[in-house]
Structure 1
Amino acid sequence: MQPCGHVIPEANHCPTYPTSRYRDEAVMSSDVSLVCTERYGSGSVLKYRKCDDGTVRYDRPHPSSSYRHLRDCFMSLFLPHGFPDSVSEDYLEYQLWDTLQAFSSSVTGSLATHALLRGSGVGDSSASVTAATVTWILRDGTGMVGRILFAWMKGSRLDCDAKRWRLFADVLNDVAIFMEILAPVFPSCFTATVCTAGIFKCIVGVAGGATRAALTVHQARRDNMADVCAKDGSQETLVNLAGLLVSLVLVPMVSDSVWATYLLFLVFTILHLYANYRAVHSVVMETLNQSRLAIVLEHFLLEGGILSPAKANPKEPLLPGLGSQVSVDVGVPLSAVVSSVSELELLKKGNESLYLLGWRRDTGRLAVVLHERAASTDVIRSVVHAEILHRKTSYSDPFRFYILAETHGKVSRMFPDFCSGLRTSGWVTDRNLLDSDDWRANWDINKGL
C-alpha cells in the first residue's frame, strides 16, 4: 500500500469516544474518495482513500521535523504507552512538580553526602577506617529496624491518606538531610545524628514507596501499572542525573563555606517542599477517604449537592491535624463496643443496616462493627452515619443511645440520594479508602427461628 503523498494537518488529541469521532469524520467529509480514517493513540489522523484503480491508499503526514522526532522519542522513553489517554488527567501536572522536587532533593542529597564523607574522616589522615565503617553499619542497621517498625505501625494507613503521607515523607526527608549536613559540626554526636537520620530516611523510603504505589493505581487507567511505574523510574533517573551534574558544579563551590552550604540547602529545600505540595495538591482521587468524605458530606448537608472529585480534592487537608472528619474506627470486633445483650439491643434499635455504630469501651471513640455481608457502600454509609452522630452527641451524653436510634432514620432517608449523587458526580463507591479493619460479625443469625 503506497502513500499518496498528501500532507495532512496536525490532529487534535483523541476525544473520550474516538470511534464516534472517526465515524463522524468519515460521514461529514465531502471527499467521496475517503473510505476510512485512523490514528495511533493521540497522534495524527491518517486518511485512507479509494484510488482509480480500486486500491486503497493513505495520506502520509509530512515527514516529521527533527523537533517532532525528538518529541516522539522523548514521549516513548519517559511517558506511559498511550499517553495521555492511558493515564489520569492529573498525571502530567503531578509529574512536572514531582520532577522539580526530585531535582531539588538530588542537589540537597549531594550536599548531605559531602557532609557525611567529611564527617566520616575522608581526607583526614588521622581518621580510622574501622570507625567510619562501624558508623555506616550502625546507620544502616538502625534504619532497617526503623523501616520494619514504621511499616508495622502505619502500613495500613498509607493507602487511606496517600497524599498526606507523601508530603510527610518529603518533609521528613528534608529533616534527615539537614541532620546529615549538621552532623560534622558536632563530632561528639556524629554517630547518633547519622543513625537518627538513617532511621528517618528509611521511614521516608517506606512511606514514599507505598504512597507512590497508591498514586500509580490512581494514575494507571488501562491496567498499565507496570508501564506507569517503569516510566516514572525512567523520569526519576533522568532527573537524578541532571541533579548530579548540577551538584558537580555547586558542591565544590560551597564546600569550603558552611554558611554557603546552609544557604544552598535552604533554597533547594524551599523549592523541594513547594514542588511537593503542588504535586500532591494536583492529584484528583476518585476514591473516598475520611477527609474527602467529610468534605463531600458537609457540602451535601449544607447545599444539597455533591461536590465532584475535581472540586473536593483541592479542599482536602494535607498537613497532619487539619480537617474536621470524625475519629471513627471501622471494622472493630463486637467486644470493643458491646459488653452485654442489652447494649447490643440498644445498638440494633432502629437499625436495619449492615453495621452497628457505637462507642468503644476503652477509648470512647466512635466505632463501627461491620456485618459479614457488608459491602463498600455499607462502609461508606457507616462513616457518614458516624459523621452525623458526631455532630449531635458525645460519649459522655447520657442520651446518646436515644440520639443514635434517631439518626438511623435520618441516615436511611438521606443516604440513597447521597450515594446516587456520589456515583453521578464521578466518585467510586464499589471500593473505598476508609481504613476498615477485617473484623466481621453476624448479629441476625436467629432471625426467622
Structure 2
Amino acid sequence: MVGRIFFAWMKGSRLDCDAKKWRLFADGLNDLAIFLEIVAPAFPPIFTLTICVSGVFKSIVGVAGGATRAALTMHQARRDNMADVSAKDGSQETLVNLAGLLVSLLLTPLVTDNILLTYLLYALFTSLHLYANYRAVRGVVMETLNQARLSLTVNDFLRLGKVPPPSSVNPREPLLPAFHRRLSVRLGAPLNSILHSAYDYQRATENNQKNYLLGLHRNAGTVSICLRQGAGSVDVIEACFHAEILHQLLHQDVSAWSVERDTFTQLQETVKAARDERLWDAVAATHLLVDQLFPRLLSEARSAGWETQRNQLGADEWRAQWRLEAKKRQ
C-alpha cells in the first residue's frame, strides 16, 4: 500500500506524458516481480524480504499499468466511445487469461519438482511477453506532443525544413527509462526559479512578448519556463520549441541544418564563446527566431496531423502575472 502511494506521488503526473514508456515499464516490472516469487524458495533466509519486494513491485505495476491503460484507452476511443473500448479490452484480457489457465493446467504437472524446466519456461515466456508488448506499444501512434515527440519533430524541422507526421515520429520515440536529455526542461516552473533580480526580469522580457518567461542555467543543464496566467496549449508548445532550440544550440551541430543555418551557426559560436552562465543574450536572440519560425512549425504540424489544442508536455501548475510592454503577437 505504501509503495502504491509513494509511486503515485512521485510519478503520477508523468504517466500521461509518457504513457507508452510507462506501459512497457509496468510489463517489465511485473515480470521481475514474478521472477522474485519463483526464486524466493531458493533463499530461505531472505524469503519474506523477497516476497515483500515482489509485492511492492506488483503494487507499482497496478498503478502504472492501470493509469497507462486508461491513457491508451482514451487514445483509442476515436469516436468518444471509451466505455466500448474499455469493455472490449476487458473481454480480450479475459480471453487471454482463459487461454493461459488452460495452458497452465497442461504445464503444471510437467514443471512440478523440476526447477530447471521452470526457469527455462519462465525465460521463454517472459521474452515472448516483453517482445509482444514492445511491438504493441511501438505500434501506437499518438498525435499529441510530449517532450520526446516534440524533440524529434523539431529536430526534423530544423534539419530537413519540414514537419514529419505522427506516423514517422512515433516509431522513433524512445521507450526505455534510460532516455534522458543533456538539457532538461522544467515547464511551469515558479517565477523565482528564473528571476533573482530586476536585471534578470529585464533580460528575460527582452524581445519577449509571449505568454512565458524562459531562463537557462547552463551549468545545471536546465531550462526553466514560467507560464503566464491564461497560457494555452499553443503557448506551452511554443515555450518547449524555444527550449528545444536552446538545447540544439548547446549540444548539437547546426551546420547541416536547412532552416536559418547561418543564423544558428552564428548564434552557436556566440554561445560557445559566452562566459555568462545564464546566457541572456542567446535567450533574447532566440526569442526573435522563435517569432519567425514557430508560426511555420505550428502550421505545418497541424497540416501533418499533430494535435495542438492539447498536449502531453507535462507542465507544472505554477503560473504568474507580468506586464507585456506591447501588444502580444497574434
2:76 maps to 1:198: no
User: Aligned in 2, Cα 1:149/1:435: closer, same or farther, shift over 3 Å?
Assistant: same
- Pick from 166, 170, 176: which aligns with 2:27? 170
- Pick from 389, 398, 419: which aligns with 2:276? 398
2:304 maps to 1:425: yes
- 8 Å CA contact retained: 2:188, 2:317: yes
User: Aligned in 2, Cα 1:147/1:241: closer, same or farther, shift over 3 Å?
Assistant: same
SS of the residue corresponding to residue 356 of structure 1 reads: strand
Taking every aligned residue pair, what percent have the same amino acid on both sides?
57
2:37 maps to 1:159: no
The higher-RCO structure (CA 8 Å, 6+ apart) is 2
Match of 2:215 in 1: 358
SS of the residue corresponding to residue 329 of structure 1 reads: strand
User: Aligned in 2, Cα 1:403/1:371: closer, same or farther, shift over 3 Å?
Assistant: same
User: Aligned in 2, Cα 1:329/1:193: closer, same or farther, shift over 3 Å?
Assistant: same
- Pick from 307, 314, 323: which aligns with 1:435? 314
Match of 2:264 in 1: none
Q: Distance in 1 between matches of 2:83 and 2:6?
A: 28
Match of 1:141 in 2: none
2:294 maps to 1:415: yes
Which residues in structure 2 correspond to 1:126-137 (within 5 Å)? none
Tell which structure's C-alpha radius of gyration is larger.
1
Q: CA deviation at 1:432?
A: 0.3
Q: Distance in 2 between matches of 1:418 and 1:447?
A: 24
Q: Distance in 1 between matches of 2:208 and 2:52?
A: 53
Match of 1:275 in 2: 132
With normalisation by structure 1, the TM-score equals 0.65
2:85 maps to 1:207: no
Q: How many residues align?
A: 305
- 8 Å CA contact retained: 2:182, 2:221: no
Match of 1:10 in 2: none
Q: Distance in 1 between matches of 2:200 and 2:151?
A: 28
1:169 is aligned with what amino acid? A
User: Aligned in 2, Cα 1:333/1:362: closer, same or farther, shift over 3 Å?
Assistant: farther
Which residues in structure 2 correspond to 1:134-283 (within 5 Å)? 144-283=1-140
Q: CA deviation at 1:447?
A: 7.6
Cα distance per residue 1:160-194 (max 9 Å; x no partner): 00000111111111111000000011111110000
Q: Distance in 1 between matches of 2:150 and 2:42?
A: 47
User: Aligned in 2, Cα 1:258/1:169: closer, same or farther, shift over 3 Å?
Assistant: same
Match of 2:268 in 1: none
Deviates more, 1:267-276 or 1:364-373: 364-373
SS of the residue corresponding to residue 163 of structure 1 reads: helix
- 8 Å CA contact retained: 2:139, 2:171: yes
Match of 1:106 in 2: none
User: Aligned in 2, Cα 1:291/1:169: closer, same or farther, shift over 3 Å?
Assistant: same
Q: CA deviation at 1:397?
A: 4.2
- Pick from 160, 167, 179: which aligns with 1:303? 160
Q: Distance in 2 between matches of 1:387 and 1:255?
A: 56
User: Aligned in 2, Cα 1:226/1:326: closer, same or farther, shift over 3 Å?
Assistant: farther
Cα distance per residue 1:113-149 (max 9 Å; x no partner): xxxxxxxxxxxxxxxxxxxxxxxxxxxxxxx110110
Q: CA deviation at 1:348?
A: 0.6
With normalisation by structure 2, the TM-score equals 0.88
Match of 1:388 in 2: 245
2:43 is aligned with what amino acid? F
Structure that is richer in helix per residue: 2
Cα distance per residue 1:231-276 (max 9 Å; x no partner): 1111101110110110011022111110000001000000001001
Q: Distance in 2 between matches of 1:329 and 1:440?
A: 13
Q: CA deviation at 1:442?
A: 1.0
Q: Distance in 2 between matches of 1:259 and 1:333?
A: 56
- 8 Å CA contact retained: 1:347, 1:356: yes
Q: Distance in 2 between matches of 1:412 and 1:192?
A: 57
2:288 is aligned with what amino acid? G
Please list every run of 5 or more consecutive structure 1 residues that lacks an aligned counterpart in the other structure: 1-143
Q: CA deviation at 1:324?
A: 5.0
1:423 is aligned with what amino acid? R
Q: CA deviation at 1:373?
A: 2.3
- 8 Å CA contact retained: 2:214, 2:225: yes
SS of the residue corresponding to residue 214 of structure 2 reads: strand
Cα distance per residue 1:330-368 (max 9 Å; x no partner): 001101111111111111111111100103699551110
Q: Distance in 2 between matches of 1:442 and 1:355?
A: 10
Q: Distance in 1 between matches of 2:230 and 2:219?
A: 27
Match of 2:203 in 1: 346
Match of 1:35 in 2: none
User: Aligned in 2, Cα 1:165/1:397: closer, same or farther, shift over 3 Å?
Assistant: farther
Please list every run of 5 or more consecutive structure 2 residues that lacks an aligned counterpart in the other structure: 251-270
SS of the residue corresponding to residue 432 of structure 1 reads: coil
Q: Distance in 1 between matches of 2:300 and 2:182?
A: 20
Q: Distance in 2 between matches of 1:206 and 1:301?
A: 38
- 8 Å CA contact retained: 1:336, 1:362: no
User: Aligned in 2, Cα 1:364/1:415: closer, same or farther, shift over 3 Å?
Assistant: same
SS of the residue corresponding to residue 367 of structure 1 reads: strand
- 8 Å CA contact retained: 2:183, 2:222: no
